[in-house]
Structure 1
Amino acid sequence: MRIATRFVSRTAASSMVVAALALAGIQAAGQTASAAPQKASSVVTCTTANTKVTVAEVSRPINHLLLKATNTGTKPCYAYSAPFLRAGADAQAPLPWADETTPQAVLVLEPGQSAYAGITTYSPDGEGGGKEKTLGVIFANRQGNATNTEKTLKLPNGGVFFNSAATVTYWQDNAADALSW
């Protein structure tokens, strides 16, 4: 008889604990929902309007440049896919994206944070080419299409040689990953 009483007592106690937790969860959910609109900050797409873009020559690996995009806005921004790059003012098409560099998730840049893309400028396997003095940069939107205005950057050393093997990586969260391709 005593065993049965304990069993009933434990069952009753567990039911009360479950009910209390459920009530606390409902109250907490209500509090969270009312507080969320006050704290929520919308995330926007990174563009040339809210992001500073720079390009630099790197010592290793050879034939590479490093593109850096820093969020200068007041809201976090998504750095989607890879940048559309136009090597030279007369470029007819953007540099191809290196598909093997696709990250596992879209990068979210908090204000002041940076994303990086590695640019392979040429390869002995490539064809043609020439020395270009500028690099046009356009960000991608969620659908992978070009966003707004192009930002034109001057390339280091008065110009850089590009040929048909030139590519750009997807946005990475650090320079080392961007340059490892």
Structure 2
Amino acid sequence: MASPSLSPSASPSPSASSPPSPVASLSPSPSEGQSSGATVDCTEDLLTVVVKKVSSPVNHLLIEAVNKGSRTCVLYEFPYMRFTADREEPVEPVEDSSPNAVVTLVPGATAYAGVTTASTDGSGAASGHRATTFGLVMLTEEDGGDQTEAQIPLPGGSLYVEDDSARVTYWQVSRGDALMW
């Protein structure tokens, strides 16, 4: 299975003459309004995954997943991830961020997930460490994420993480929704 590609730098601003970008949407069912088999699960080989540091809110990362395939794909729940390969427990999801639907990506569309890396008040400092990678598995309808874990380097090479404070949002259709948690 191919690993997601990573680009820690910011994306260039779209020019005024750029065509509109494809958009992600929320669907109660992956095939609603489409013929059977029209959508597939979004897996690492169908996505380009970009991890970015953001200036606001503090102690956050943004995961962007772009459908680089030719078919519409579906993202389920949240990015199943953990910081540093030797950590056994995955990062817990922010349950309140669930959109109560799957995120559907047409080719070229982007979905987002926000990651809280540390508390703002230092309350999680006892579990703090420097992480250099995070493991990522895309959850699917069939296997619930029984795929190879891709080890993705973090922007800037390493990042301070508090395992007790780290949280990840469910997949969202907008950057703002992903970073509001």
| TM-score, length of structure 2 as denominator length | 0.75
Q: Percent identity?
A: 38
Match of 1:45 in 2: 41
Deviation string 1:126-149 (CA, Å, 9 cap, x unpaired) is 232201010111111126821422
Match of 1:176 in 2: 176
Question: Does 1 or 2 have the higher relative contact order (CA < 8 Å, sep 6+)?
Answer: 2
Correspondences of 1:120-139 after superposition (within 5 Å)? 120-123=116-119, 124-126=122-124, 127-139=126-138
Correspondences of 1:1-181 after superposition (within 5 Å)? 42-123=38-119, 124-126=122-124, 127-142=126-141, 145-163=144-162, 164-181=164-181
The CA distance in 2 between the partners of 1:131 and 1:176, in whole Å, is: 27
- SS for the counterpart of 1:130 is strand
Deviation string 1:4-58 (CA, Å, 9 cap, x unpaired) is xxxxxxxxxxxxxxxxxxxxxxxxxxxxxxxx87xx7620111101111111100
Q: Is 94-103 or 139-148 further displaced after alignment? A: 139-148
RMSD over aligned Cα, in angstroms? 1.7
The CA distance in 2 between the partners of 1:160 and 1:107, in whole Å, is: 28
Q: CA deviation at 1:151?
A: 2.1
The CA distance in 2 between the partners of 1:80 and 1:41, in whole Å, is: 17
Q: CA deviation at 1:91?
A: 1.3
Match of 2:7 in 1: none
- SS for the counterpart of 1:111 is coil
Gaps of 5+ in 1: 1-35
Match of 1:30 in 2: none
Bigger Rg, structure 1 or 2: 1
Gaps of 5+ in 2: 1-33
The CA distance in 2 between the partners of 1:142 and 1:169, in whole Å, is: 18
8 Å CA contact 1:51–1:72 kept in 2: the answer is yes
The CA distance in 1 between the partners of 2:61 and 2:177, in whole Å, is: 13
Q: CA deviation at 1:172?
A: 0.2
The CA distance in 2 between the partners of 1:50 and 1:63, in whole Å, is: 29
Match of 2:10 in 1: none
Q: Which amino acid aligns with 1:61?
A: P
Q: Is 58-67 or 88-97 further displaced after alignment? A: 88-97
| TM-score, length of structure 1 as denominator length | 0.75
The structure 1 segments of at least 4 consecutive aligned residues displaced by more than 6 Å after TM superposition are none
The CA distance in 1 between the partners of 2:168 and 2:142, in whole Å, is: 18
The CA distance in 2 between the partners of 1:67 and 1:61, in whole Å, is: 14
